[in-house]
Structure 1
C-alpha cells in the first residue's frame, strides 16, 4: 500500500526524562535525517552521535541517531530513530524541525503499527498482542500478550486455513473434472469428511476454553453485592488498600458502580462495589439497583455480603450459584458462631481478609487457567465460531460439491478475518485508536 507521507512521533512518554526517543517512518526518513544532521546517512543500524539542527542551522541537541533502511524494519519502510536529551524544549524543537521537512507529518495514534500490519510485517493478532502488551497490568497478562505478539494464534489460524484451502482445492477439482471420470467421488467424499471433521474438532477444542483468555485480558470480575449497610464499600476499600468508595452509615450511599483493579498473585482482578439491594421508590437508587443486578449477572464471582440476616440475603439474591461466596461482614461487632461455615471478615480489624483474598485468587486462577489460551478477544471467538459452524454444516449437509465448496469458502473467509487477511477495515480504526501516538 502506498503511503505518500513520512510520519514522525515521540516513542517515549511525555514529560521530563533522561532520554526522549522520536521515530520517523516513510520514504523521506533518510532525507529528513540528512537535513537534521547536515551530513551523510550513517551506516545502517548503528547508533552514531550527531548534532541536530533546525532549518536556520541552529544546533538543537547532541543526539544518538540510527538509520534503518526498509523493508527489514518494524513498519516495513525506511525508518529513523533519534535519541535526544529528554527536556521538553529539546523535544519540541526537534519535532518542529521535522515538521518543516518536506513530506513529513505527525503520526496518528497507532499509525506505526498500522503500517507494519498493512505492509505485512505482522498480522492482526500480533498487532493486538502489541496493544495488549502496552495495556498489561499483571505478570499473567504480560505473558499472554507476548504469546499473541509471538504469533501463537496467528500461526494456528494460518495452519487451519491452509488445510481448509487444500480441501477446497479438492472439491473444486471434483467440480472441474466431474465429466471426465478421473475423480473418484466416493474417495473424495470420504477424505473430505474425515479431514473436515478433524479440523472441526480441533477448532471446537480451542473454543471450549471457558473464555479464560478473555478473562485474563479483561480481568476476573468480582462483584460485591448485598443489602444496604452490609459493608460493601468498606470491604472494597480494605481489599484494594485505598479509599476508593465513600463509606457512610446512611443506607443507599452507593448508587453507581465503582470499579477497582487489583493484582492478585499476577492475575488481574476487577473488584466492583454496587448499590445495596432493597425495595425503594427513589428513581436514582432504583437505577443503581438495576445496574447492580446487571453486573451480578455478568460477574465471574459474586461476594454476597450480610451481617447475619440470611433472610435479607435470600431476598436480594434468591438463587446463589457456584460463582457465589457468602461473606459475613463486621465480624468485630458480632462474631459468628464457631460452627458457621460462612466466611466472616472484618474490614476494621482485618480478620478474615487474607482468607477471602486467597479464595478470590483461587477462583481467579481456576477461571483464567494457564498461559496456553489462544483466544484473547471476542473477535477471535466470533471468527472461529463461524468457521466451526460452516464445517458443521458441511459435515451435516448433502454431498453436493457445490454446497461443500461454498461452506469451505466461508470457513476460509472466517479464519482470514481472524488473522486480518480479509474484511478487517471496519476494525482497524477501533484497534489502533487505543495505541500510543508513537506506536
Structure 2
C-alpha cells in the first residue's frame, strides 16, 4: 500500500500547520527528513531538512506506530510553523520520495475504516463533526463519532444471530424431537430489537433536522414586515425591504444559530391574489415552502386567514408593534420589540422536539433500520406459523442482520464509499 501525505490543518497562513504522513514508509521517510530515529509512539522537536540538506523548518514531530493510530498504519505528523512557504516546501519534499504520494480526499479516514479503526457510521459522524456549525450539531455528531450507533447496531446483530442460531437448530433437527421450544426466546429477541429499531426510526427525522437545520417560515400578507423581521432575526440586511407591497417575490433563506440549534429562516412572498405572473409564482412557492417548514411564524391581524393553516405549535403574532397602541401579542422587526420573546418561543418549541432525537443522522441510516424492522416484522409473523416455516423465518432474520451490517459498513458498495468520502478534505 502507498504511503500518503497531506496538509491536515486548514489551508493558508496560520500559527501552526499540521502535515500528516501515513503508510508503511512513514517512519523511514520521516527519519530521513529529521535525521533521527523516531520513537514508536511519542513526540520530539526536530529540524526538518530536504534531500539536499537544506533546512525546511523546526517542527514538533509526533509518531504513532501501527495499529495504534488513527488510520491503523504507521503515522507521522509534522507540526510546523504555519506559513504558506513552509507548508509548500515540506509537501514538495515529501513528494520527492518515490514511495509517497499526495492523499486523495478522505483517504486517511477511508484507511481507518478499512483497517477497523472506525465503522462507517463513525466516519459519517466525523464528517458531520467537521461541518458542525451549532452546539446541537456538535453534540449529535460527537455521539455518532464516539461509536454509539455502531455499538447499538452490533448489539442488535448479536441478538439476531442468537435468534437465527436457535431457529437453525430447529431446522437441522426437523426429523427429531427437539427437547426445547425455542419460539418464546426468539419472539422476545425479535420484539426487543424491533422496539429499539422503531424508537431510533421515530427519532431519525429530528436527528436529520439537527444535522441539516430546522426550517422556520415567516408567513403573512404583503407589506406586514416579514422581510424586516427576517433581517432583525438574522442581524443583517438579508432581504430587501420597501414600503411597496410585493417586494419579496422569491423565498429568501437565512441560516443561523438559534441558541445552539441550526435554523434556516424563510422569508416568503406575501400571500395575496395577484395577476402579476412573477408574483403569482412567488406566492405559489411561498405556500409550498411554508407548508413543508418545521415551524411557521404568522404575522396576521386578528381574524385574518390564509390558505396555509396554522398548526398547533405555529406562532401567530400581530405585525408592526411599533405602530400600535395595544402591543400585546405583537412584534416589530424595525424596533426589535417582542423579538427576544419570539426567539425564546421558537427555541423552546424546537428544543422540545429535539428531546426525542435518535442516533440515525442520515437517510441511509433510517433506510437500513426500516429494512431491518420490516424483515423482523415478517419474521415475527412467520414464527407463530410453526416449525414448518422456520426456513422462511431464518431467511428474514438473516436479511435483517445484513441491513444492520450495512449500517456500520460491514458490507458496502464502492459507490457509497466514494460518495461519503468525497465530502472530506485531503487531510482527513
TM-score where L is the length of structure 2? 0.93
The match for 2:406 among 395, 417, 439 is: 417
Deviation per residue, 1:252-284 (Å, 9 max, x gap): 332333222222332222212222223344444
Alignment size in residue pairs? 424
Aligned residue in 2 for 1:227: 221
Q: CA deviation at 1:349?
A: 1.7
1:227–1:316 CA contact under 8 A, matched in 2 = no
1:176 and 1:283, CA in 2 relative to 1: closer, same or farther beyond 3 A?
farther
Looking at structure 2, the residues matched to 77 and 191 of structure 1 have their Cα atoms a distance apart, in angstroms, of: 43
Aligned residue in 2 for 1:158: 154
Looking at structure 2, the residues matched to 24 and 284 of structure 1 have their Cα atoms a distance apart, in angstroms, of: 56
2:229–2:334 CA contact under 8 A, matched in 1 = no
1:147 and 1:247, CA in 2 relative to 1: closer, same or farther beyond 3 A?
same
Aligned residue in 2 for 1:6: 3
1:269–1:364 CA contact under 8 A, matched in 2 = no
1:250 aligns with 2:244: yes
Q: CA deviation at 1:348?
A: 1.6
- The alignment's C-alpha RMSD in Å is 2.0
Looking at structure 1, the residues matched to 275 and 414 of structure 2 have their Cα atoms a distance apart, in angstroms, of: 47
1:124 aligns with 2:120: yes
The match for 1:329 among 316, 319, 327 is: 319
Q: CA deviation at 1:182?
A: 4.6
1:18 aligns with 2:7: no
Looking at structure 1, the residues matched to 200 and 137 of structure 2 have their Cα atoms a distance apart, in angstroms, of: 19
Q: Tell me, what secondary structure is at the counterpart of 1:225?
A: strand
1:289 and 1:57, CA in 2 relative to 1: closer, same or farther beyond 3 A?
farther
1:210–1:367 CA contact under 8 A, matched in 2 = no
Looking at structure 2, the residues matched to 9 and 283 of structure 1 have their Cα atoms a distance apart, in angstroms, of: 53
The match for 2:349 among 363, 379, 393 is: 363
Looking at structure 2, the residues matched to 218 and 427 of structure 1 have their Cα atoms a distance apart, in angstroms, of: 20
Looking at structure 1, the residues matched to 358 and 202 of structure 2 have their Cα atoms a distance apart, in angstroms, of: 10
1:264 aligns with 2:258: yes
Q: Tell me, what secondary structure is at the counterpart of 1:121?
A: coil
Aligned residue in 2 for 1:195: 189
2:124–2:420 CA contact under 8 A, matched in 1 = yes
1:278–1:316 CA contact under 8 A, matched in 2 = no
Deviation per residue, 1:234-258 (Å, 9 max, x gap): 1011011111112222333323332
Q: CA deviation at 1:209?
A: 3.0
